Structure 1
Amino acid sequence: MEKDIAESPKIPSNNINSSKAGKAVYPILIAISISHLLNDTLQSIIPAIYPVVKESFSLNFAQIGLITLTFQLAASIFQPFVGFYTDRKPKPFSLAIGMGFTLIGLILLSVAPSFEFLIFSVGLVGIGSSIFHPEASRVAHMASGGRRGMAQSVFQLGGNFGSSIGPLLAALIIVPYGQLNIVWFSALAILAIFILFNIGKWYQRKVKIKARRPSVEHNIFHNLSQKKVFISVGILMVLIFSKYIYLVSMTSYYTFYMIHKFGASVQDSQVYLFIFLFAITAGTIIGGPLGDRIGRKYVIWGSILGVAPFSLLLPHMNLFWTVILTIPIGVILASAFSAILVYAQELFPGKVGMISGLFFGYAFGLAGIGSALLGSLADRTSIEYVYQICAYLPLIGLITAFLPNIGKD
């Protein structure tokens, strides 16, 4: 389908392989990255306030996991359907509408009087995320000028940076002053709506241009059989499982781990979480451009399997070395998702929205289920035991060897 071909507005030719195809639309890439930053800053407030709501609502770890499960399922279930629908019928202003759901969810979260109301509020934030990610990923693809890995890394950079500063802002604003102060973050949602509305206008012009160019054709990235394509998708799904279950053990329970094992204060634990999430931000920009240059398969291999030595050491370290080890873990792990997503998009040319929604949705869904299961495990054993078990997950990266070579891979 013509909708999904990356195309710069200054490109007169329909051939994406032309010399001008490398001219990415950087103002749009930066704008969508900033929007991703704001979206994921708001999302990251949810796990960042867990110590606050755990005390105020007298929650156990299983209930904390249920909050994450609700949010992640709401953020995941709709994504493939949004992507599939907008592959056929682009909706440029759905980005701003999705952020509207997030805005409402945040306001309700700030005044939630009960655990059930808390669940409902985070569900609305999750729905906003499910609308945002497939279409935002498509915008990055359209503005890439053919440099898809670079564009996805720029897009992910904003999201990961937002995820890293959310806990820090929560430590400064919410932890000392209480749940009601979540409402101040609604200003970020309003700013995001403004930016996304203007991106929507650019996106709408692109749709009109493409409608006048029905002869545009897709790049064909491979000649794999349908069986090999679906086997490859299965391998990628398993790798996402490895990455995101380990990642959720850090994002949802790292603060509790630092408090329980080392006696850290709530605010100090938020700073330690910020260090880990900032390391993810620093590593994000590496994976996409490196995949464009040397091949995505090698980036995927190194990113997931490369974490294993550090993850295996982490549960046995003191406070200082625990904090230090989270830095290479974050940097190395971060490079995987952009490479995996673009690899999957190249397996299914023309299905950018559906594939983006499928992989973002699957990742978020796994994170939610994993958080609930890990919370239940922590209640039955200990938070330290959870980290000892999760340390082995990156070894699943060995199955990357079975991915076929496509493009530069």
Structure 2
Amino acid sequence: MAMTIKQPIQKQSIQYSKIGVLSLAHMLNDLYSNFLPQMLPFLIILHPDFTATQAAILVSSFTISSSLVQPFIGYYLDRRGKRWFVYVGTLWMAIMLSLTGVVHENYILLVTLATLAGLGTAAFHPQASTMVNILSGDYKAVLLSAFIAFGNFGFALGPLLLVPLFEAHGLQGTLYMVIPGVMVSLLLLFFSPRVNVSPSTPPEFSALMASLKTAARELSTIVGVIAVRSLAYTGMLTMLPLYFKSQNLSNIAASHLVTIMLAAGAAGGIIGGFISDRFGRKPLIVGSLLLATPLFFAFLYTEGTLSTLFLALAGASLLSSFSVTVVAAQEVIPNNKAMAAGLTLGFAGGVGGLAVVLIGRIADLWGLQMAISALFVLPFVAGLLALFMKSRPAARVQRGA
């Protein structure tokens, strides 16, 4: 009887250095993504008639342009990858945002530059996340979570670095921010992976539509959860600096509080990834979002160190599902990973960003306290929506761990 000899399975090597370069670039990209909210207190000082609605429109213009086009870029990248998207996109965003402080006297031009800057990060994210997926071997979920965590840490660094810069040099200090953009763009030009991110047989549009139709119910639930969470997240980034200023906190003190919330959120994202691998995506998403709302209100109605602790816990709870929802969407449409990244990191975030204008209007009509309270309720709403997600076995259960 003939014997069949099993060949050892060769594991795909993990290219940590390339993933490190992409993660560093992601950290800078998301630092830039938190650029405009840090300008708001200074814009109010220079322009006393600057309204909360105008602030929301300014931040939303970047969020929408950086987000809503990502699914289309993702579809394009699923068919044919373009390595230059990562370094050209980064450089483009750096140049556009570095000019915002120069044109702050002209609100229309300021919004235009913010909108154009968003296109740079829209080009970077689907391409970079797909590269990480390809380079990650058998540890795709964990390394994608780390890649996203670098972005969240970059977001957290924004207030810590930008507010002192603006304090020292005024809004003209935005010009200095072109320097790190140029440096990281050159790093990506020379060291980003030269891999083919598109399959040998790119998915046809009809196949994509069939995949989306099959997964429509579950995918729409995930996108809805992300949109509501994004509204809460973007709204807080826009309104909290204004709220802290109304409470007579200095710009530096306010920036430290925002940084604490975002840094805790970045750590929460990593912890959330591990918890979801052990207990499943849905329990993590539902539980963390339902918990975030009471933690935010506890921050609002306590003082001192206890208040800061609640803010950190609330930030960690809100963002612990950040990377998990991306992975959940990629599991729903596994043959269109860049499209899934575009929908979750992009489109859903853009929808949430668009709704921030309504929060700004609430602040103008009924006060910042009412707007902040409305934002703090939203994670609970997202958690309730997540109850309609399909339950799937935990990743470690699937691997037999």
Same-fold status (TM-score > 0.5): yes
- CA RMSD, Structure 1 to Structure 2 (Å): 2.5
**Offset, 1:56:** 1.8
Alignment match of 1:164 (pick from 156, 176, 196) = 156
Q: What letter corresponds to residue 35 of structure 2 in structure 1?
A: I
Q: Which residue of 2 aligns with 1:24?
A: 14
Q: What CA distance in whole angstroms lies between the structure 2 residues aligned with 1:232 and 1:388? A: 29
Structure 1: give runs of 5+ residues left out of the alignment: 1-14, 217-224
Greater Cα offset, 348-357 or 397-406: 397-406
Q: Which residue of 1 aligns with 2:258?
A: 273
3-state SS of paired residue (2:249): coil
3-state SS of paired residue (1:109): coil
Alignment match of 1:175 (pick from 167, 181, 204) = 167
Instruction: Describe how 1:293-312 pairs up with structure 2 within 5 A.
Output: 293-312=278-297
Q: What CA distance in whole angstroms lies between the structure 2 residues aligned with 1:239 and 1:18? A: 38
Q: What CA distance in whole angstroms lies between the structure 2 residues aligned with 1:100 and 1:179? A: 20
Q: Which residue of 1 aligns with 2:4?
A: none
Q: Which residue of 2 aligns with 1:73?
A: 64
Q: What CA distance in whole angstroms lies between the structure 1 residues aligned with 2:212 and 2:356? A: 34
TM-score by length of 1: 0.86
Instruction: Describe how 1:279-294 pairs up with structure 2 within 5 A.
Output: 279-294=264-279
Question: Contact 2:226–2:349 at 8 Å: present in 1 too?
Answer: no
Q: Which residue of 2 aligns with 1:222?
A: none
Q: What letter corresponds to residue 232 of structure 1 in structure 2?
A: E
**Offset, 1:243:** 1.5
Question: Contact 1:151–1:288 at 8 Å: present in 2 too?
Answer: no
Q: What CA distance in whole angstroms lies between the structure 2 residues aligned with 1:54 and 1:126? A: 23
Question: Contact 2:234–2:356 at 8 Å: present in 1 too?
Answer: yes
**Offset, 1:325:** 1.2
The 1:226/1:135 distance shift into structure 2, 3 A limit, reads: closer
Question: Contact 2:40–2:242 at 8 Å: present in 1 too?
Answer: no
Q: What letter corresponds to residue 240 of structure 1 in structure 2?
A: I
Q: Which residue of 2 aligns with 1:344?
A: 329
Q: What letter corresponds to residue 101 of structure 2 in structure 1?
A: S
Q: Deviations over 1:161-202 (max 9, x none)?
A: 1111111111211133201111111111012212222354x2
**Offset, 1:355:** 1.1
Question: Contact 1:148–1:342 at 8 Å: present in 2 too?
Answer: no
**Aligned pair 1:37/2:27, yes or no?**
yes
Q: Which residue of 1 aligns with 2:187?
A: 195
Q: What CA distance in whole angstroms lies between the structure 2 residues aligned with 1:324 and 1:41? A: 23
Instruction: Describe how 1:52-201 pairs up with structure 2 within 5 A.
Output: 52-58=42-48, 59-112=50-103, 113-200=105-192
Q: Which residue of 1 aligns with 2:389?
A: 403
The alignment covers a number of residue pairs equal to 379
Question: Contact 1:57–1:114 at 8 Å: present in 2 too?
Answer: no
**Offset, 1:229:** 2.3
Q: What letter corresponds to residue 236 of structure 1 in structure 2?
A: I
Structure 2: give runs of 5+ residues left out of the alignment: 1-6, 203-210, 396-401
Q: Which residue of 1 aligns with 2:398?
A: none
**Offset, 1:320:** 4.2
Identity among equivalent pairs (%):
26
The 1:207/1:84 distance shift into structure 2, 3 A limit, reads: closer
3-state SS of paired residue (1:33): helix
The 1:303/1:25 distance shift into structure 2, 3 A limit, reads: farther
The 1:226/1:86 distance shift into structure 2, 3 A limit, reads: closer
Alignment match of 1:263 (pick from 248, 256, 259) = 248
Q: What CA distance in whole angstroms lies between the structure 2 residues aligned with 1:176 and 1:253? A: 23
**Offset, 1:18:** 4.7
Q: Deviations over 1:83-139 (max 9, x none)?
A: 100100111111111112112202321311411121122112211011111111111
TM-score by length of 2: 0.87
Q: Which residue of 2 aligns with 1:221?
A: none
**Offset, 1:226:** 7.3
Q: What CA distance in whole angstroms lies between the structure 2 residues aligned with 1:18 and 1:233? A: 33
